[in-house]
Amino acid sequence: MIRELDPGKVALDFGPTQMIIQVFGNGASSSVAIEAAVYASKLVGELAEFKLLAARPQQEILTVDGLPDVLQRMIEAVKISGDTDLTPMAAVAGTLSDMTADWLFARGVAKVIVNNGGDIAIRLSGAERAVIGIAPALGAMPSHVLDIGAADGIGGVTTSGSGGRSFTKGIATAATVLAKTASIADACATSIGNATFSPHPAIRMVQAETIDPLTDLVGHLVVQDVGELPQETIQAALENGWRRGKQLWDQDIIKGCVIFIGHSGVMLPEGLATPLRNKN
């Protein structure tokens, strides 16, 4: 289903994809946003034909010949992340956002924001800017904001963590990553989110397939429940996530990250995002 929400703002609800497409400035119109939503739904349909392959470990995909562009980009993104535990599905939402945003940008739209369930692709031209809110957990109000310009080289802002649509091996309530594309940010957010773990009896781990027999993480332990944790466990998990983020940042794979476990958080680099002040 495709719905116009406001002028230049369109919602796509198609299978597992819930996407908001927004266009601004030169070349922007509801009609072009609707065309982009049709294009995005086509990508989802192409990927559905290869869903079993997309769920396989990346090491088992020996060639990309004959695969649709959307799946090729997903495979490339997880390989760039360097995390061999990830399947191409770790980059699916970000890749769909990227390709939809690229389709619009190629048609001369000055500013594009495509939000696919929290995995956001941004395309900016000239002096255009985008302000993106960062929340410490799914459904929470933003606690920080990012002000992004075309010269910053940031094309993707994506979030992974507990409470989302995918499984996680960590306890981050939100691991938000900035990168040059949303597909790379998506894969790296998954990797950083997975790294936010520190053993504690209040963390319940189960085999992924016991929750979802169709998961792409068969044989992997994932977090099912998290009880009350001492601050030292939270801090250790945040430090583990930060270290993984630092590896990716040092390699210039990501532009930065913000990681939360509840009300506790870390940021790389320091000052990356601006805190929102309570008006009261």
- State the pLDDT confidence band at 279, using cuts at 50, 70 and 90: very low
Give me the mean pLDDT over the 196-200 stretch.
Answer: 93
Judge contact between 151 and 127, C-beta under 8 A. Answer: no
Does the pLDDT value for residue 263 go beyond 70? yes
Rounded-to-integer distance, Cα 77 and Cα 79, Å: 5
pLDDT for 170: 93
Judge contact between 192 and 257, C-beta under 8 A. Answer: yes
Chain-centre distance for alpha carbon 92 = 9
Rounded-to-integer distance, Cα 211 and Cα 222, Å: 10
Give me the mean pLDDT over the 250-264 stretch.
Answer: 96
Rounded-to-integer distance, Cα 239 and Cα 51, Å: 34
Does the pLDDT value for residue 128 go beyond 70? yes
The region that residue 113 occupies, defined by phi over 0 for left and psi between -120 and 50 for alpha, beta otherwise, is beta
H helices, E strands: number in the chain = 7, 14
Q: What is the pTM of this model?
A: 0.93
